[in-house]
Structure 1
Amino acid sequence: MNKLLIASAILMVAPFAAQAGADFVEGDKIFGGDAELGATLTTGNTETTSIKGRLDMKHELGNWENQYLLEALYKEDTGEITGKRYYGLIQADYQFSAVNYMFFNANHEIDPFTGFDSKSTVSSGYGHKFIDDGRTLFNVEIGPGYQFKQLDDESALAAGYDTEDSWVAHGVANFETEITDSSKFKQMFVADYGDSLEGRSETSVTANIIGALAMKFAVIVRYNSAPLDDKKSTDTETNMTLLYAF
């Protein structure tokens, strides 16, 4: 755990420390992002609640491009919680050129339905933009990382240990393209390979409704090659949300 805390501190401090000696120019500051929200509520013979929220912010400052991401998912069926997931990510990219950059990434996930109380991963490495013409973006990232997991009490009792940690190879492939002037397609793959292979795929289509308001349809698939006993290796999530860009 100490290794993870030290690595997280280094990754979070690095972009700010590098900028500390530079002169700040207001014209170089660019900040924006988008917020998503989707909900389903039913009452009567069937009582269900489903809420999905996401806040994705990006900040450009000189050669740095930073991302701050928060996600939350909550599901309840007739008073019983059937889904709960919270995820946070910080990533800083240092641009060497228009197509080459170094990334620093730290993320934390809470999903008790996997048998783990939490999972944290830190990584850094090299990124390259193969296509970036204003309408289409295709970039790939690869580098080493470190992952730490905390098992819940039930899983720890069954397994005989309460934590897992390993060094991982971290990779990302991201593709985005504008279908029309008012719609966009995105496909992203994220993988961490260490003691097991863990992957995440997100496919989405976004269509503008009016102004900064859009509708987003997304399919998310999560995969773990070595899940805990009584857990499935693949989880899927399909949702439709309203998205507001700012």
Structure 2
Amino acid sequence: MNERVKAHSISPLCVILLLLAGAAQAGDWGDEGWSGFGELGAVVTRGNTDAETINAKTRVRYEEELWRHTLQLEALKRAEEGATTAERYLGNFKSDWKFRPREYLFGALRYENDRFSGYEYQASAAVGYGRRVIDTERTRLELEAGVGVRQSKVRDGERDDDTILRGAMFFERRLSETARFGQDLLVQAGQDNTEVESVTSLTAAINDRLAMRLSLTAKHNTDVPEDREKTDTITAVSLVYNFW
């Protein structure tokens, strides 16, 4: 159910700023402890055309009085007539230190391997400041800004090390007791290339554990090899299982 249209280490100073900035005050962001989900979409066709598509995602989060840690993993693979036509793997890890009720400092690591993007991999590490701008029963909006480093390697073997500015937005709106709309946006801008990733989703709960999700992911690189498109999109319909 997917359609494809086509590190450096953090410096010691950044780590000190992340861990020692200001006097800590607890933030009340929701239930403490573990939360997470697994998401799977798969399509297999046989007959005149043999094709298989698998889209899998998982996110695990642990939250306590002063900290929030989030691990996210994604995998996408599509094959037609025995030939792979899409293959992408993504890993994200982020830690947030809630030093005020709606403000936090974060450290983020990201690694992406997209076989058909023209890059062998793109890896980044960033630190910065985030704020929960809106926090009501129905609406949540978080904004982040930071700096970091990125290492990219293209398929021909050339490697590029770059300093980046990182901006992110996380928006969620509860449409009803069982449905919610989400919009996540990530921008990582460097001297040679700017990455923009947008994930738009609509989730409808089936019961306490299961839900259906319709999502559109758009990934844009301003600098790609001549034989590659700058923008890739993935449309997916998936079944979501909430672990906790």
Q: What range describes the TM-score normalised by the shorter chain of this pair?
A: 0.7 to 0.9
Distance 2:140 2:11 in 1: 28
Deviations 1:51-88 (A, max 9, x none): 00001111013300010000000000011100000001
Residue 226 (structure 1) shift: 1.4
Deviations 1:4-41 (A, max 9, x none): 243299999x999xxxxxxxxxxx96001111000000
1:189 pairs with one of 181, 185, 188 = 185
Q: Which runs of 5+ in 1 are unaligned?
A: 17-27, 157-161
Correspondence list, 1:1-246, <5 A: 4-7=7-10, 30-152=33-155, 155-156=156-157, 162-195=158-191, 196-246=193-243
Residue 188 (structure 1) shift: 1.1
For normalisation by structure 2, the TM-score amounts to 0.87
Q: Percent identity?
A: 30
For normalisation by structure 1, the TM-score amounts to 0.86
Residue 97 (structure 1) shift: 1.5
Q: Which runs of 5+ in 2 are unaligned?
A: 1-6, 20-30
Is contact 2:71–2:93 with CA below 8 Å preserved after alignment? yes
Deviations 1:122-168 (A, max 9, x none): 1010001110123211010001011101222xx34xxxxx1011000
Distance 1:173 1:6 in 2: 24
Q: For the structure 1 residues 99 and 29, does the alpha-carbon distance in structure 2 shift closer, same or farther, using more than 3 Å as the test?
A: closer
Q: For the structure 1 residues 231 and 104, does the alpha-carbon distance in structure 2 shift closer, same or farther, using more than 3 Å as the test?
A: same
Distance 2:42 2:190 in 1: 36
Q: How many residues align?
A: 226
SS of alignment partner, residue 7 of structure 1? coil
- Greater share of residues in helix: 1
* Cα RMSD after superposing both structures: 2.3
Q: Which has the higher contact order (CA 8 A, sep 6+)?
A: 2
